[in-house]
Amino acid sequence: MRDWLWIVVVIVGVLAAGMVRERWRLRAMERFVMQRGFTLHSPFIPGEHPPMAALAEQLEGRRATRWGAGITGVIDGLEITVAELETPARGSDGTGSLNTVGIWWVMVAWPLGPNAVATDPIGPWEHGGELTRQGHWAAWRLRGNLTQANVEALLAHLPSARRQFEPGRNR
């Protein structure tokens, strides 16, 4: 019976360490978003404006299985949303069984201007990840979680991502 006690203690310890680590990550994100004038949403609940769930489904070809934290704010006069989401693993990323762990992505979405180019999903992009559009919204996603480094990368290349949807842009 004592062996079971140690197993339980180890399992509880691992779970506690994971929860503490997650809380530290979100605290770091809280400080980062406050400095930028953004708002952190944990958990993030996708809505229609922007249509995060539809944008994610268009990129993946199926629905996200889970949403993590998200950020909303204004950059260059544009309201943006950045959120992390999990999609089911497939192909070389997993076995395809129901118990397979998913893949985490971080995605930024922004409204398109009235002259935006109406195209199919653009797909892989030179700055990593993939671009897509859904109605009057566009999105760019990268593999990973909502971390300061990922958000800074998304924001740094957001002007270039926006230009991909301008009229006359070569793709």
The one-letter code for the residue type at 143 is: R
**How far apart are alpha carbons 154 and 136 in whole angstroms?**
19
Chain centroid to CA 148: 12
**How far apart are alpha carbons 82 and 125 in whole angstroms?**
18
HEC per residue, 36-52: HCCEEECCCCCEECCEH
How much is the pTM? 0.78
Beta-bridge mates of residue 169? none
Q: Where are the domains of the chain?
A: 37-163
Contact 171, 164 (CB under 8 A): yes
**How far apart are alpha carbons 40 and 28 in whole angstroms?**
11
pLDDT at 108 (0 to 100): 94
Q: Would you give per-residue pLDDT tens digits along the chain (171 residues)?
A: 578 888 887 887 888 777 777 777 778 788 888 888 999 998 899 988 899 999 999 888 888 999 999 999 998 888 999 999 999 876 555 455 555 578 899 999 999 877 776 555 566 778 888 999 888 899 999 999 888 899 999 999 999 888 888 776 654
Among candidates 31, 62, 49, 28, which has minimal Cα distance to 145?
28
